[in-house]
């Protein structure tokens, strides 16, 4: 089985590319969804995150409100680092279990882990190949404002806390640029998929 990392930046088009790879037959494992699972009341990180950040991060139903939690760490690198240290090991463990199960059922398959900060955490080293999804900074801002209902200033502030896409590209085996029409992005995805399929397992 081939293990592939899929990353990019805020509103760069990772999810679109991930869905396209899935439609071509890849097994896509979404780190964000696993993050939701480990922060759920019965999740592995729930108690530690609640202890670290207090009951102010809870919604009325006792679940962790991710917006409230984000407000606790945004602009505070040391608090973000603490949160990552509590959540990421469990997410990675779930990723590895999912890949192991997929390898058992489809030894010739391609497993893709879609995650925002693979490179920043050093997790990209776990993969055979790395895909980095990019678009123009202006396109990132426009998409994030529309999708997340944020102001331009809020989006720019978030982008300042991420590695620039130009920096992430240096680590890529494949770069997919989503700045253009969707059909052009899909053409690039198909080309990358065929290149991955041609690699020895």
As a whole number of angstroms, the longest Cα–Cα distance in the chain is 51
Name the phi and psi angles at 30, rounded to 5.
Answer: -100, 115
Q: Which residue has the tokens 């407000």?
A: 71
Q: What is the pLDDT of residue 158?
A: 81
Identify the pLDDT of residue 77: 85
Integer Cα distance of 53 and 97 in angstroms? 28
**What is the tens place of the pLDDT at every residue in 175-186?**
999 999 999 999
Q: Do domains 1-26+109-201 and 32-107 have the same CATH topology?
A: yes
Write the pLDDT tens digit of every residue in 118-177: 998 899 999 999 999 999 989 999 999 999 888 998 888 888 878 899 999 999 999 999
Where along the chain do its domains lie?
Answer: 1-26+109-201, 32-107
Half-sphere exposure of 18 (CA within 13 A, CB side): 22
The chain-wide mean pLDDT, for the chain, equals 94
| pLDDT, position 150 | 87
Q: Are 43 and 127 in contact (CB under 8 A)?
A: no
Residue in 20, 68, 41 with CA at minimum distance from that of residue 176? 20
- Please report the pLDDT score of residue 98 as a whole number: 97
Confidence (pLDDT) at 116 = 87
Domain at 32-107: CATH code: 3.40.50.300
CATH number of 1-26+109-201: 3.40.50.300
Closest CA to 48 of 38, 56, 61: 38
The mean pLDDT value for 25-47 works out to 97
Which residue from 13, 14, 9 is spatially nearest to 113, judged by alpha carbons? 14
């Amino acid at each position: 089985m081939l293990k592939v990392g899929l990353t990019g930046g805020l509103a760069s088009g990772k999810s679109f590319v991930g869905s396209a790879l899935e439609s071509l037959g890849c097994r896509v494992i979404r780190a964000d969804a696993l993050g939701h699972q480990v922060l759920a009341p019965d999740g592995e990180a729930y108690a530690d995150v609640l202890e670290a950040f207090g009951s102010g991060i809870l919604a009325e139903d006792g679940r962790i409100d991710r917006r409230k939690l984000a407000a606790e760490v945004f602009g505070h690198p040391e608090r973000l680092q603490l949160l990552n240290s509590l959540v990421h090991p469990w997410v990675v463990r779930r990723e590895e279990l999912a890949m192991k199960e997929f390898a058992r059922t489809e030894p010739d398959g391609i497993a893709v882990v879609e995650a925002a900060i693979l490179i920043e955490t050093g997790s990209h080293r776990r993969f055979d190949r790395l895909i980095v999804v990019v678009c123009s900074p202006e396109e990132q801002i426009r998409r994030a404002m529309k999708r997340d209902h944020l102001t331009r200033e809020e989006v720019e502030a978030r982008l300042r806390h991420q590695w620039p896409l130009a920096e992430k590209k240096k680590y890529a085996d494949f770069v997919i640029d989503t700045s253009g029409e969707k059909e052009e992005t899909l053409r690039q995805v198909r080309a990358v998929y065929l290149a991955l399929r041609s690699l020895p397992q």
